[in-house]
Amino acid sequence: MPDPKKNGLLTAVLSALAAMFGVQSDRNRQKDFSSGSPLRYLLTGVLMAALFVVGVILLVRLALMLAGA
Amino acid sequence: MIRKVWLLPWIGWLVSLPAIAAWDVNMRPGSTAIAREVYDLHMIIFWICVAIGVVVFGVMFWSIIHHRKSRGAEARNFHENTAVEILWTLIPFAILIAMAVPATATLIKMYDNTDAEIDIQVTGYQWKWRYQYLGEDIDFFSSLATSREQINNEAPKGEHYLLEVDNPLVLPVGKKVRFLFTANDVIHSWWVPDLSVKKDAIPGFINESWAIPEEPGIYRGQCTELCGRDHGFMPIVVDVRPQAEFDQWLADTRSAAAAQKASATQEWTLAQLMERGEQVYNTSCAACHQANGQGIPGAFPALAGSPMVTGDIGAHIDIVLHGKAGTAMQAFGAQLNAVDLAAVITYERNAWGNDTGDSVSPQRITELQQ
Ligand SMILES: [Cu+2]
């Protein structure tokens, strides 16, 4: 595992993904909770939720385009 | 021998299977292609659920019995297992997707309202349905035909108790019919299981659905959105006929409507109006004002002895034609024809001891309607 201090963004993204999926290992959870400010996790979470919504919209657009509507 | 006792409930269950089938608890297979697809989806998903239940409960009970305390099982204390958690998230996800794919395919078909050969506007009223065949000049109301005596336990109940109407919706076999649903007062919902059509009828909105009836016959349904006091008393009857009989019905219905118009210009005697008026009253008014004209105190006024009904004839005609805004009293001017209106007003003015001797002519109503 990379050092959370060095590779903060990647861990935050992975943790947000784990949260969206609903499963996270206890080891990672302990690490996240001891890595200082929660703000980074909150912001990443909100950003990824927005990305998810945009992704769904694009997927529907694509499906409609392929269906010729 | 004694060890086989546990088999008994299972044998009992197997023996009773035919009885359960006859009990009719399952969804109906329906009588259109879409209805059969919906039924098949329902059965596939049902059996998937059964399989999941058997596996999950099987593993659970096997574990409980196999690791029982009397065999010296020791509990293992651990907090989590990420691999198992991922597995039990992915498996249901895969099952849900596998069920969603065929279900969505059917839904897309159900929403394809194009290429209909007949358009029918269905309007929900408290408490009846109105059917307008768009472009065909056919427009009628369909009300409950079960008698008040049966409802009040004063007569034995018939075979189609509360599932029979005076004017069924008539459809030809094998044609795509598009329904446009809306409502006049509150939200209703039009549901005919055999056609696999169930749609909300909402005031100010139009919802669409369609069906291609395949077999001539009578199909029954009900309003399925709680819509007030007589929600359970506004059934649906669909009468599917071969094309030739349907065409005949169209012609007959049109000429009956024309005859109706003509009869509004004839002279009607008090006795004729009374007889007709009683029928109209019982189908259109008795739900609220009651067959004996006593109404329901606090909700629907009594018409027997009412100062309006025994007094000012103009005000009486006005409230029946135009209703009273903000109350359950609807504008019947748009729902009943001139003869029915004249008859029901005459009936109210002379029934239940109101004995005013007044008779209202259809001509008078026709003039007011113009
Ligand atoms: Cu209703």
pLDDT in tens, B139-190: 899 999 998 889 889 889 999 999 999 999 999 999 999 999 999 989 999 9
Does pLDDT of A39 surpass 70? yes
| pLDDT tens readout for residues B317-368 | 999 999 988 888 988 988 888 899 999 999 999 989 898 888 888 888 888 8
CA of B230 to the centre of ligand 1 (A): 8
Separation CA B128–CA B144 (nearest Å): 7
Domain over B266-369 is classified CATH 1.10.10.10? no
User: Taking each helix axis from N to C terminus, what angle separates B313-322 and B338-350, rounded to the nearest 10 degrees?
Assistant: 130
Query: Would the CB atoms of A25 and B89 count as touching at under 8 Å?
Result: no
Query: Would the CB atoms of B82 and A23 count as touching at under 8 Å?
Result: yes
Predicted ipTM of the assembly: 0.72
Q: Is the link from the previous residue into B127 a cis peptide, with omega within 30 of 0?
A: yes
Give pLDDT, residue B160: 92
CA of B144 to the centre of ligand 1 (A): 12
- The percent of residues in chain A predicted with pLDDT above 70, rounded, is 87
Does pLDDT of B88 surpass 50? yes
CA B190 to chain centroid, in Å, comes to 5
| Domain B118-261 -> CATH class | mainly beta
CA of B148 to the centre of ligand 1 (A): 19
Give pLDDT, residue B20: 63
Find the chain A residues whose C-beta atoms sit closer than 8 A to any C-beta of B: 21-26
Considering only A56-60, B6-10, B134-138, which range has the smallest mean pLDDT? B6-10
Give pLDDT, residue A58: 97
CA of B139 to the centre of ligand 1 (A): 19
Does pLDDT of B27 surpass 50? yes
Domain boundaries, chain B: 33-69+81-110, 118-261, 266-369
Give pLDDT, residue A4: 46
Q: DSSP code of B194?
A: G
| pLDDT tens readout for residues B264-314 | 788 888 888 999 999 999 888 988 999 899 999 988 999 998 889 988 888
* Residue in A21, A22, A26 closest to B80 by CB: A26
Give pLDDT, residue B67: 92
Does pLDDT of A6 surpass 60? no
Q: Judging by DSSP bridges, how do beta strands B128-133 and B118-125 pair with one another?
A: antiparallel
Query: Would the CB atoms of B86 and A25 count as touching at under 8 Å?
Result: no
Give contacts of B85 with chain A, Cβ < 8 Å. 23
Give pLDDT, residue B132: 95
